[in-house]
């Protein structure tokens, strides 16, 4: 490995024994002496090939380096498979968080059977290749000491279980909660969300109500509860039983399918069969022009066009503000075992910001990867009329991504736009096709445009002037 300055991942600082960095397009991790010893134990144990066979972790190997190039406390370097696009749990659908939680519990169960344990139980340790969850924090695996309790239980509850219970039992999407509470929902807050008679539902009595009481009592004592439990001899079988109990709760949770304003859009989409076929052919003709590294489908809805792009792209990130839409797409991708398309819940009028420690721990949407193809089909009217974003600002934001663009303009005569304008004053004097085309041509060279028959809809393929 070249001895050039590494670029540290700003979210990798909580574990003092290792740190992720990027170098020459590779994802690597420094280890101190303790972390190296644990890596050697894991990589030579029966657990490691088992985890690889489960497809719950990516490949990791030690990199040979000149010891003189390593600064204390680092003594070794690992290299990991690169994740195509980083996402965060507040961008996942219910099913994605549910499957990530189940994957985490599966890992703990497998680890305990080989006398290992996971130190941390954070959903930020899970990333995705398409619809497949992967655990990325390899140094979290540690040898389980006899009598040791499961230290990650509280973290699992706060960041996995409680958000799932909240949506399953209250019907309120968890994403906004996790976005504002990066450490998860405290048990005490959860108790205030439920009436006493609800605590007999699975997961509420033991994991919320009793956990909150225990946390209150521990806060008042100076005793080291964890040490006392270890000294008393906490059997590994108790942890396994608890993990399996939680797995049953997680897998048994269901959300009532709700028809939001746009989640049934595919069933009543405002296209004739001829128009929809023409739209698919237009998108296919642009996507097939070349191979793409990263494509974004903004306002992806059913994901039909994401899948067209996936035939020509290494990775497609499909985004929609409607969590029901993203959930349906995730289930579709999961059934097909698709690893090319990553579905995310994303309100593009309020996309995920940079946040966490110093505003840098979690990256903003646009800082996580530069797309070379952006599709914005039936999106602009939602931004301009639905979210009051000026049309000029919406086009300028698309242009700031620096990618080739497939965009659809939907006229005011379209029934979907009429629904957006229903019972409100039409103040959107800037929203018309001539103005849109003038704005588009400010930033792009329009390669091709075609009209669709219904709704005053037009499709455009545009190339940034900076690269045209």
DSSP state of 138: G
Prediction pTM value = 0.94
Answer yes or no: is pLDDT of 406 > 90.
yes
Predicted local distance difference test score (pLDDT) of residue 374: 99
Predicted local distance difference test score (pLDDT) of residue 267: 45
Q: For 431-457, write each residue's pLDDT tens digit.
A: 999 999 999 999 999 999 999 987 789
Strand (E) or helix (H) holding 457 = strand 457-464
Q: For 274-285, write each residue's pLDDT tens digit.
A: 999 999 999 999
The answer to whether the Cα torsion of 315, 320, 323, 327 is positive or negative is negative
Answer yes or no: is pLDDT of 266 > 50.
no
How does residue 170 score in pLDDT terms, banded at 50, 70 and 90? very high
- Kindly state the average pLDDT of the residues 253-278: 71
Predicted local distance difference test score (pLDDT) of residue 272: 85
- Of the listed ranges 267-276, 418-427, 433-442, the one predicted with least confidence: 267-276
pLDDT, averaged across the chain: 92
Q: Report helix, strand or coil for 231.
A: helix
d(CA 215, CA 154): 10
- Kindly state the average pLDDT of the residues 294-311: 98
Torsion, Cα 127 130 133 139, to 10 degrees, reads -40
Strand (E) or helix (H) holding 294 = strand 292-298
d(CA 75, CA 124): 26
Q: For 58-81, write each residue's pLDDT tens digit.
A: 999 999 999 888 999 999 999 999
Predicted local distance difference test score (pLDDT) of residue 15: 86
Predicted local distance difference test score (pLDDT) of residue 216: 86
- Kindly state the average pLDDT of the residues 222-241: 71
- Of the listed ranges 2-6, 45-49, 203-207, 269-273, the one predicted with least confidence: 2-6
DSSP string, 178-235: HHH-TT---HHHHHTTS-GGGGGSTTTIIIIIIHHHHHHHHHT--S-HHHHHHHH-B-
**Greatest pairwise CA separation for the chain in angstroms:** 76
Closest to 29 measured CA to CA, from 160, 94, 125, 111: 125
Predicted local distance difference test score (pLDDT) of residue 215: 87
Predicted local distance difference test score (pLDDT) of residue 468: 56
Per cent of the chain over pLDDT 90 is 82
- Lookup result for tokens 């340790």: 125
Q: For 374-398, write each residue's pLDDT tens digit.
A: 999 999 999 999 999 999 999 999 9
If you compute the radius of gyration of the chain from its CA atoms, what whole number of angstroms results?
Answer: 25
How does residue 11 score in pLDDT terms, banded at 50, 70 and 90? confident
Predicted local distance difference test score (pLDDT) of residue 234: 75
Q: For 99-131, write each residue's pLDDT tens digit.
A: 999 999 999 999 999 999 999 999 999 999 999
């Amino acid at each position: 490995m070249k001895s050039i300055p590494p670029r540290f991942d700003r979210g990798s600082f909580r574990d003092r024994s290792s740190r992720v960095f990027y170098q020459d397009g590779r994802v690597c991790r420094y280890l101190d002496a303790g972390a190296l010893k644990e890596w050697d134990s894991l990589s030579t144990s029966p657990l490691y090939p088992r985890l690889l066979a489960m497809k719950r972790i990516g490949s990791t190997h030690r990199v040979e380096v000149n010891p003189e190039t390593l600064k204390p406390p680092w003594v070794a370097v690992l290299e990991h498979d690169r994740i195509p696009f980083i996402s965060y749990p507040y961008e996942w659908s219910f099913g994605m968080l549910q499957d990530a939680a189940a994957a985490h519990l599966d890992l703990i169960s497998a680890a305990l059977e080989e006398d290992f344990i996971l130190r941390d139980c954070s959903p930020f340790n899970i990333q995705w290749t398409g619809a497949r969850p992967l655990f990325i924090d390899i140094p979290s695996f540690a040898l389980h000491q006899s009598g040791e309790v499961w230290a990650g239980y509280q973290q699992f509850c706060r960041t996995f279980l409680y958000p799932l219970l909240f949506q399953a039992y209250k019907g309120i999407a968890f994403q906004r909660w996790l976005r504002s509470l990066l450490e998860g929902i405290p048990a005490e807050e959860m108790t205030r969300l439920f009436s006493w008679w609800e605590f007999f539902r699975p997961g509420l009595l033991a994991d919320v109500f009793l956990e909150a009481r225990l946390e209150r009592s521990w806060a008042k004592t100076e005793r080291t509860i964890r040490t006392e439990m270890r000294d008393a001899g906490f059997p590994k079988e108790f942890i396994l039983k608890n993990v399996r109990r939680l797995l049953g709760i997680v897998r048994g949770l269901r959300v009532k399918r709700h028809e939001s304003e746009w989640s049934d859009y595919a069933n009543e989409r405002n296209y004739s069969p001829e128009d929809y076929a023409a739209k698919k052919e237009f998108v296919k003709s642009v996507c097939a022009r070349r191979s793409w590294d990263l494509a974004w489908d903004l306002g992806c809805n059913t994901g039909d066009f994401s899948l067209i792009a996936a035939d020509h792209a290494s990775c497609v990130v499909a985004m929609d503000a409607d969590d029901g839409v993203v959930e349906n797409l995730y289930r579709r991708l999961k059934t097909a075992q698709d690893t090319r398309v990553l579905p995310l819940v994303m309100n593009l009028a309020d996309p995920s910001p940079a946040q966490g420690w110093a505003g840098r721990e979690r990256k903003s949407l646009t800082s996580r990867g530069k797309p070379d193809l952006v599709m914005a089909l039936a999106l602009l009217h939602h931004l301009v009329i639905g979210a009051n974003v000026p049309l000029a600002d919406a086009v300028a934001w698309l242009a700031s991504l620096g990618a080739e663009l497939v965009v659809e303009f939907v006229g005011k005569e379209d029934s979907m736009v009429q629904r957006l304008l229903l019972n409100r004053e039409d103040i959107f004097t800037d929203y018309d096709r001539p103005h849109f085309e003038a704005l588009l041509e400010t930033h792009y060279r329009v390669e091709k445009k075609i009209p669709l028959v219904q709704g005053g809809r037009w499709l455009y393929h545009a190339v940034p002037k900076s690269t045209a």
